[in-house]
Copies of this chain bind each other. A is one copy, B any other.
Amino acid sequence: MAKTQVLVVAGTHGNERNAPWLMEQWKHRPSLLATAGMPVQLEIGNPEAFAANRRYLDRDLNRCFAPDLLADAALQQVEMRRARDLLQRYGASGQEPCRVAIDLHSTTSGMGNSLVVYGRRPADLALAAGVQARLGLPIYLHEADAAQTGFLVERWPCGLVIEVGPVAQGLLSARICRQTQLALEATLLTLAEATEGRLHLPSGLLVHRHRGSVDLPRDLDGEPLACVHPQLQNRDWRPLQPGQPLFWEPASELSGASSPALDLEAEAQWPVFINEAAYGEKGIAFSLCRRERWPVESHWLEALQSLMAP
């Protein structure tokens, strides 16, 4: 039997240029990407938005994969059609069936090299644990957020997002490219080991579990009254300190500025996606997580290995 194919998507957001550029190089010279023997399908997520160097044209492609949206034939925006097209071609029952989807993103926030996992599917957790054991990447576990749903990788039996930053939209950065490639190669190596039934997982998984999001203070027109405080910028994955200022408002150097304290859930003090440019429209200045260490459960590995078995 042939090995399970892995769908690798870049440019799901058309103004995140690094992974699509890497992908172009890999297509020209496949030896540049170490796939660990895994068959991969390399695909630009949103080619029309990519051509326009915009995040999306009609709506955010990475929020289009909710089952109710996909099933609603009245929704015919560019991105809804593209979501259905990707599933028809590369879905688990598609023309070129893939059982795993890896979606490559970049961010203006200082996330470094990181993974995003949606919910608690055992195969996802096994894959994330395997990559974390290899590279030590932090993991943002996104769940229980009714305002943000319909992510691409959720419609494949297994999948995760590789999220690298900070980098401006529309900009190539060698550091971002290197980190993206490193994380993808570690993911493919982990999948190859699972395919061969020889993946070993560590005893624990460290996750940052989403608990909520915080917006900038805004005026009645929705315009921001302040921006992220310089002492918070690029402090993703580091806990907030009591009384730490979160927002900053302009003032002459002669005057002072203060920040209102935030009423935070006592243990949700780990911010991520601090000042992501595209999240302004979503009303998110940063998200807050609880940092938790989970024991790795044996059925996670079984789920991933049985999914990957040829």
Contacts and interface: CB of A to CB of B under 8 A. Distances in A.
A174 B251 contact: no
Contact of A34 (B31, B175, B227, B252): B252
28 contacts: A21-B224, A21-B227, A24-B223, A26-B250, A31-B255, A32-B252, A33-B252, A34-B252, A108-B168, A166-B168, A168-B277, A169-B169, A170-B280, A171-B275, A171-B277, A172-B228, A172-B275, A173-B227, A173-B230, A174-B228, A174-B233, A174-B248, A175-B230, A175-B233, A178-B230, A178-B250, A181-B252, A185-B252
Contact of A224 (B33, B172, B178, B252): B172
Contact of A32 (B169, B230, B251): B251
Interface of A: 21-22, 24-26, 31-34, 108, 166-175, 177-178, 181-182, 185, 223-224, 227-230, 233, 248-255, 275, 277, 280
A275 B171 CA distance: 8
A227 B223 CA distance: 36
B173 A275 contact: yes
A22 B70 CA distance: 42
